[in-house]
Structure 1
Amino acid sequence: MTQSDQALEGRPTATVEQLEEEGDVAADYLEGILDIADIDGDLTLDVRGGRAYVSVENDDPTALSLLSEPDTVQALQELTRIAVQTKTGRFSRLILDVGGSRDARQSQLAKLVERAVSRLDEGASQASLPPMSSYERKLVHDIVAEHGLISESYGEGADRHTVIRRG
């Protein structure tokens, strides 16, 4: 969702200071979860593209293995967003990365797009991808644009998916 889409939905664009506050609230919340689970992790905060980004990292790749599964990261991100919204009173589009899980997912999405492009090269008029989160769809749209193709999202809620076609 672009910032203009966000404004159209009645959600004002967050300032850098508000996004930094989101990151701080998220970090406090995540530190509590890591403490409860007795998991060591270093948190880094960033603001880019109108979103707060929080990364949980550890030099030992196995230390975060339980938390870095895609479904677990998604669930933890949603819980963190709720905690931020409860504390700040504002909707949050915060992005959480655990142990490089976002880079791994972006690589998987790139492979998924490559397979879809192959179907188009073989004569398909369009290629549909499975439903995914808005953030993942945004990544797919960016990857598809790099290929010089067109992508659009269709469906509602958990069924929202991306369709790729030639221009």
Structure 2
Amino acid sequence: MIKEAFGKGATTEAAIEAAKSELAAPEDADVKFEVLKTAKKKTLGLFGGSLAEVRAYYEVPDEIKKPEPKPVKNQQPAKNEKKAEPKKQEIKKESVSDKKVSSAEEERTVGEASKAAEKYIKSILDGMGVQDAKITSNEDSESVYVQLDCGSDYGYVIGRRGETLDAIQYLTRLVINKGKDNYKRVSINAGNYREKREDTLRELARKNAARVKKYGRNVCLDPMNPYERRIIHTTVQEIEGVDSHSIGSESDRRVVITLAEGFKATNPSNGRGRRGDYRRNDGRSRSKTTEAPSRAPRSDLEGTLYGKIEPKAKEE
């Protein structure tokens, strides 16, 4: 076995002394030295230069290890002594009572969002001065559904094109999902407004799709929320010869109905320059004009913009 140590110094002699001191070999040891690196002087006494490095080592005879005594073998157990059997891992079975408790907790969790939605919507309606409004709700694992029956105040709660109802729905969704891990959608209906609005949008999509197929000119609809745009897109997909896509951003996002690729308009010469058309000229310009209303707008409070809004019929 070889023991070694290293030393550094300004000169080779200094490095040897440092290595000997580090090695601490006995006086009778045959110490040998190996110069690994010689010292270099600094340029102008300021730059560069390096220390000398020396390795000192000597050989030590290996120690002869004495054989360790072999351990005495344990006596064999008596024949009548039984070996300990490994314990079987106990598998706990969920009792019926535990299942009932977990299902009850799940029901409470499911009902929590709908109750919070009802409470918040009632506070909004009270602030709007809507009296005797009836609020019913139900929910599943993904959504909360709320039905409002407002008597003669439907137009006030719904607003122009459902803007007030959509705002209440948006705020309610924020409230019930605040601080929750499982996000839930919220759908609020006042009377049968959602059904009537869906019918109106589908008819609007079919009417403008027929116009595009006839004249071959794109039609750009008014801005809509994502739910209403989805209804338009779904209806257009069912009509052969036309496509649809959305343009704009945020509150100004709207649907454009176009002639499908490979289809030709049935009467392309007519309809040129009509008001309300969405025109394109190689993507360089577009224009949309609207007629000024010829009469005063109908009152939102009376609900006449949507026809007669009635309480949703109960399923028998």
TM-score (norm 1): 0.70
Q: CA RMSD in A?
A: 3.1
1:32 aligns with 2:102: no
1:19-58 matches, cutoff 5 A: 21-36=112-127, 37-47=129-139, 50-58=142-150
Distance 1:34 1:27, change over 3 A: same
Distance 1:151 1:46, change over 3 A: farther
Aligned-partner Cα distance in 1 for 2:209–2:110: 36
Displacement of 1:41 in angstroms is 2.6
Count of residue pairs brought into register by the alignment = 150
Task: Name the counterpart of 1:158.
Answer: 251
Displacement of 1:84 in angstroms is 1.7
Task: Name the counterpart of 1:111.
Answer: 203
Aligned-partner Cα distance in 1 for 2:177–2:125: 20
1:5-154 matches, cutoff 5 A: 21-36=112-127, 37-47=129-139, 50-58=142-150, 60=151, 62-69=152-159, 70-86=162-178, 88=180, 92-148=184-240, 149-154=242-247
State the SS of the aligned residue for 1:56.
strand
State the SS of the aligned residue for 2:155.
coil
Aligned-partner Cα distance in 1 for 2:114–2:244: 31
Task: Name the counterpart of 1:3.
Answer: none
Displacement of 1:18 in angstroms is 7.7
Give the structure with the higher percent helix.
1
Aligned-partner Cα distance in 1 for 2:110–2:206: 34
Q: Deviations over 1:8-27 (max 9, x none)?
A: xxxxxxxxx98765433212
TM-score (norm 2): 0.41
Letter of the 1:24 counterpart: K
Task: Name the counterpart of 1:10.
Answer: none
For the 8 Å contact 1:151–1:162, the answer to whether it is kept is yes
Task: Name the counterpart of 1:12.
Answer: none
Q: Deviations over 1:25-48 (max 9, x none)?
A: 212211233344352233333458
* Pair member with larger Rg: 2
Distance 1:18 1:121, change over 3 A: farther
Distance 1:46 1:89, change over 3 A: same
Give aligned-pair identity as a percent: 26
For the 8 Å contact 1:154–1:160, the answer to whether it is kept is yes
Displacement of 1:136 in angstroms is 0.9
State the SS of the aligned residue for 1:65.
helix
State the SS of the aligned residue for 2:157.
coil
Distance 1:115 1:20, change over 3 A: farther
Q: Deviations over 1:105-131 (max 9, x none)?
A: 212212321331132132224322121
Aligned-partner Cα distance in 1 for 2:239–2:138: 28
Displacement of 1:164 in angstroms is 1.9
State the SS of the aligned residue for 1:131.
coil
For the 8 Å contact 1:42–1:56, the answer to whether it is kept is yes
State the SS of the aligned residue for 2:131.
coil
For the 8 Å contact 2:216–2:259, the answer to whether it is kept is no
Structure 1, gaps ≥5 residues long: 1-16
